[in-house]
Chains A and B, each alone.
Chain A
Amino acid sequence: MAYANHIRARYIVVIVLFFICFFGSFLLGKYPIDPVTLAKVLLSRVLDIPQDWPNQTETVLFHVRMPRVAMGAIIGGGLACAGAAYQGIFQNAMVSPDLLGASNGAAFGAALGLFLSVGYRGVSVSAFVFGLLAVSIVFLISQKVKFNITLGLILTGIMVGSVFSAGVSYLKLVADPTNALPAITYWLMGSLASIRIEDALFAGPVILAGILPIMLWRWQINVLTMGDDEARTLGVNAKAVRAGIIVCATLITAAAVSVSGLIGWVGLVIPHFARMVVGDDYRVMLPAAVLLGSSFMLIVDNFARMLTTSEVPLGILTAFVGAPFFLYLILKEEGE
């Protein structure tokens, strides 16, 4: 079938792009590494290769760049996955993974951690816990809504999210303006610069654990886009699948925000881009969105660390790139 071949070719391009971005990101930075050395150092872990590179290269690669590139890929892929899943289960292409307040909750948790100076680890944990808490509150309240469960979820999400973001503003108001305030402000801008191996080991598995069930559910998401009633009569337990996806997407978002701060736009723009490239069928679109999300995040992060001498916060760059890109996609879509 011609249609399928053409999609398959595009899908392969997406996969190749991901690998280029992934390995390319190891090479770039203030301490450039050439591809041959990269290959040698990586292979030296499994094969017996005599060391002809400085120890510094190894340190940079495994302790600085590896956690950053790995987490960039995982966070980008995770946010795109969560966004695409939300768009499916809420039957709305304008939805992003912070719809139900996960990001706002996590931002509040992080701000609270920084305000109380609970230490680096404490901030991540606090962000993660508050992210989950915010969505749990939304979920519990929305169960009381009787008229329209989906609309109830979205409305409660907006309300609870704005309460938490008011909380963040209040913390900024009362924070010590020399230490805590800049820390909170900078943290909210989002960055992968300060990611350490411990972060990767904590957030990485959580995000991957959130991506896996969503990936496995991708046919059911297709059916859910028909609406709850139709999905039920087609044999999908709409409520259960939606609840499961909300749990997974929340784990992804809260874990991502807890180590990288607020990085917007990826969860909204990338699923759109994936739809344009491979179509709306979640069986192909979801893995494509994950790979494109990873690639996008890695590219933007490379700019973040190369553009100026001091790092540009990633959240600012994703907005700078994401918003015009989104407009471009919308205009192009109308033209077809």
Chain B
Amino acid sequence: MTVAVRNLSFSYKTTEVLREISFDASEGTLLCVLGRNGAGKSTLFRCILGLLKGYCGDILIDGMPACTLSARELSRKISYIPQSHSTVFSFSVLDMVMMGTTAHLGSFENPGKKERAAAESALDMMNISHLKSRNFCSISGGEQQMVLIARAIAQRTKILIMDEPCSNLDYGNQIKVMKAVKNLAKQGYLIIQATHNPEHVFLFADEVLVILEGRVGAKGSAEEILTEELMQAVYGIRVNLHEIEGRKQKFCLPDEKEISYVEAI
């Protein structure tokens, strides 16, 4: 399972959003994509998922150009985990997870026993079997995110793409979701995830891809590439990196000057 992006460029009309992006990612990796709002993270994901056409360059999924695959073929290789969201109609958690099996069904086919079993084992894998009969709309945001991950597992793809799964979640749920995601990476999944939280990157990411103004700013392990200079370039504020001795864990804080206005007022 590999995703290889080669010289990917994309423009909306005259506005260039992505410029010559290239990177590789392979199974067993949690790849976090960092970048400020509007840097092109979502556009990159939409290109990989086949939702945006008309890009330049190549996206290779297991060595095959993604643009030659149909929506159906692509959906058997990559699954998409959106942010937890409300739905217009209410479905049970089990039905929601079973939607992941659609990629393996005929167009006129309803999911049967086999699909139901697949959905139940996916719920089991995420330790949320107790939610099975609940209404998807009535469970918490964190639980919804877990259900959407279970849906991707039921889809039986090894590549998962997640768009900021932790936005809208409380602190505890953020860590729970990140732990679950990290676990999946350890089991051999390739997870490409946009994130806004540098702490998550330091804590969980195997690799980081930094997108700066639509280009690849840096790629590598968090410890190596995430410097104060890079963080400043990405977010436009001065940032200090600190390390906690006992835990060998880096984290970042905004520079004192950034928050000095608090005293000035």
Contact = CB atoms under 8 A, between A and B. Distances in A.
Interface of A: 1-3, 88, 91-93, 216-220, 222-223, 225-226, 229-230, 232-237, 241, 275, 279-281, 283
Nearest to B78: A233
Contacts of A219: 102, 105, 109-111
Nearest to B109: A219
Which of B71, B100, B111 has most A Cβ within 10 Å? B71
B151 to A, nearest CB: 8
B87 A237 contact: no
Interface string B98-133: 011011110111110000000000000000000001
B108 A216 contact: yes
Contact of A92 (B74, B76, B88): B88
B49 A233 contact: yes
Interface of B, secondary structure class, is loop
A183 B110 CA distance: 46
Interface in B49-72: 49-51, 70-72
Given A234-B102, A235-B155, 9 more contacts: A3-B133, A222-B91, A232-B49, A232-B75, A233-B51, A233-B74, A233-B75, A233-B78, A235-B104
B9 interface: no
B100 A234 contact: yes
7 contacts: A225-B89, A232-B50, A232-B51, A233-B51, A235-B75, A237-B70, A280-B89
A206 to B, nearest CB: 20
Contacts of B80: 229-230, 233
B79 interface: yes
A273 B103 CA distance: 31
A235 B76 contact: yes
Contacts of A234: 75, 79, 99-100, 102-103, 155
Contacts of A3: 92, 133
Which of A2, A93, A237 has most B Cβ within 10 Å? A237
A86 B246 CA distance: 60
Contacts of A241: 107
A280 B71 CA distance: 26
A220 B102 contact: yes
Nearest to B49: A233
B153 to A, nearest CB: 13
A268 to B, nearest CB: 15
A229 to B, nearest CB: 5
A233 B79 contact: yes
B95 interface: yes
A50 to B, nearest CB: 47
Nearest to A285: B89
Given A218-B110, A219-B102, A226 B87 contact: yes
A220 B72 CA distance: 13
B90 interface: yes
B90 A229 contact: no
